[in-house]
Amino acid sequence: MKQFVQYSLLSITMLIATLHLAAQNTQTQQDSVVQLYGVVMTADSLQGLPAASIVVENKGRGTLTNEQGVFSIVVLKGDKIRFSSVGFKDKLINIPYNLKGNQYSVIQLLVNDTAYLPATILKARPTPGQFERDFVNTEVPADQLELARQAMSEAKRRVLLAGLPADSREAVNMQLRQNAQKYYYQGQVPPMNILNPLAWADFIKAWKRGDFKRKEDTSSSSSGSSDN
C-alpha cells in the first residue's frame, strides 16, 4: 500500500511538471508571435505603393498592400521579411528576437530600380511602290542545288580551269612529261609542231571554242580591276 501511494505521488508530480512545461511552451510561442504592420512607400516621392508584396522568407506566406500601401501580417520573432514591388529594388528586414511586446510597425521605403533597354527605332510602313521596289531588288541566296548546277556548267568549269593554279599533283605530272619528252629526243632534233597536222587540228578546235579569247578577256578584266 505504501509503494502504491509513492507511485501515485510520483505520477501526479510528473503530470504536473509536464503540464507546467507545456504551459510555458505555449506562453513562449504566444510571446514570439508578432503583429507586423505599416506602410510601403516610394523613396523619392513618399507615395504609397499599392499591391506591394510582403513575404516571410522560407515560410511560403505573405500579403499585399492596399491602395494606400498599408499592410498587416502575423509573423514570428526572428523572421526575415522581404518587401518587393515591380520597378523597385527588394528590401529585406529582420524581426528582432528581443522585441518587447507583440507589435512591430515599419515605414518601408523602396528605391526605384532603373533598367536601361536598348534603343528601338520605329519606322512607318512602306508604300506599295517602296515594297515592290525592295521585293524585286532583294537578292535571294542560291541553294545547294543551284550552286551545284552552276559549278557543273561547262562555261564555269572553263573559267575555273583558266584561273585556278595547278595543284602539286598536276605540277609533278607536267614536270615528268616534260622530262620524258626531253629525254626521249636527247641527242637529236625534236620535231616541230608547226609541221604536225594533229597539233594544227587541236589549235583550230581550241580557236573555235574560244579558249584564247576567254583567256584574253580574263587577263584584261584582271588588269582593269588592278588599275582601279
State the pLDDT at residue 134.
Answer: 85
Residue 144 forms part of a structural domain = no
Domain end, chosen from 69, 92, 110, is at: 110
Average pLDDT over residues 75-96: 93
Phi, psi of 85 (to 5 degrees): -155, 150
Decide if 137 is inside a domain: no
Evaluate whether residue 6 is within a structural domain.
no
Tens of pLDDT, residue by residue over 122-166, are 888 888 888 888 888 888 777 887 778 777 888 877 777 777 767
Q: Answer whether residue 57 is part of any domain.
A: yes
What CATH number should be reported for the domain holding residue 59? 2.60.40.1120
Question: Among 94, 110, 126, which residue terminates a domain?
Answer: 110
Q: pTM of whole model > 0.95?
A: no
Taking phi over 0 as left and psi of -120 to 50 as alpha, with beta for the rest, 52 belongs to: beta
Give how many domains the chain has, as a whole number.
2
pLDDT in tens, 22-61: 444 444 444 689 999 999 999 998 999 999 999 999 888 9
The yes-or-no verdict on residue 8 having pLDDT over 70 is: no
pLDDT, averaged across the chain: 79
Q: Is 83 exposed, middle or buried (0-12, 13-18, 19+ CB in 10 A)?
A: buried
| Residue 94 CB neighbour total at 10 angstroms | 11
Domain that holds residue 69: 30-110
- Residue 43 to residue 107: CA distance in whole angstroms: 11
At 215, is the pLDDT very low, low, confident or very high (cuts 50, 70, 90)? very low
